[in-house]
Amino acid sequence: MNPLGCEVVDGVAVLTIDNPPVNAVTVALARALGDAAAELDTRDDVGVVIVTGGGTRAFSAGSDIAEFSGMLGPGEAVERKLRPQMIAFAALADMRTPTIAALNGICLGGGLEIAACCDLIVAEEQVLLGSPEIKLGVFPSSGGTFRVARRIGHGRAKEMQLLGEPVTAETALQWGLINRIAPRGQGMRVARDLAAVLMARPPRALGLCKSVIDATHDLDEAALTERSLDASEQAFTSAECAEGVRAFFAKQAPDFRATNAGASS
């Protein structure tokens, strides 16, 4: 069974984690997610990617413990599971295309590591988010340590990951871990509303903006200044910028998608 569904409608791709009963993260699922992210990021007809969970119980309850329990020898977990997952999750995190995680159920462990790869996170009001790995004698090992810390700071990341207790959607919103709370059953609707806004924005400028923000924790201020100026040069000389300025003076809504379609044809 394919652990990941993929559907593209009107420029929005929806990746659905489909590994019942709780959408556990396996190496096969991670690889499918990474492959899908890499492929979708090359498509001009995809403007936004939404990642969600199949069913209503869980976005993902974390790693398949039965899978990694057979990898406890020296080097086994890292090479057979964690390194492939790091590579796969990085493909999602590094997409130029904007990404949204729509959390429709519990989001724990590897599930939270996947969500943290996305630009925006929507969680339904009943969702619990957490990193319980410490209770098994391990810790978030596929990017969850640094990606969660980048979103909410070291102190709160340590509270989540050293104590291993989940937080509510309301707390996650207050901490900046998520961006929106949706009513129960309405997570995808809210995610699609956000996607519609992003689809109206200039795709190249979105990717450039993401690239500068994502470099914040990796470069010093001087390097970030140059990164921002280089990205700005690309933005200000683009057909998107010309369309934005034209539409502003014409008092019209800009049509960035048509501009990019024309540029690529």
Residue 5: which of 70, 38, 50, 43 has the closest Cα?
50
Active site residue 113: yes
Burial of 128 (0-12, 13-18, 19+ CB in 10 A): middle
For the chain, helix, strand, coil in percent to 5 are: 50, 15, 30
Catalytic residue, chosen from 113, 124, 240, 243, is 113
CA angle 12, 15, 17 (to 5 degrees): 160
Residue 14 near residue 50 (C-beta atoms within 8 A):
yes
Cβ atoms within 10 Å of 244's Cβ, excluding its own? 17
Q: Provide the β-strand partners of residue 121.
A: 101
- Residues 227, 212: Cα–Cα separation, whole Å: 7
Q: Provide the β-strand partners of residue 14.
A: 7, 50
* Whole-Å CA distances, 209 to 124, 142, 182, 213, 227: 27, 25, 26, 6, 10
Report CA torsion sign: 18, 22, 23, 24.
Answer: negative
Active site residue 243: no
Q: Provide the 8-state DSSP code for 88.
A: H
Catalytic residue, chosen from 124, 133, 240, 243, is 133
Active site residues: 113, 133
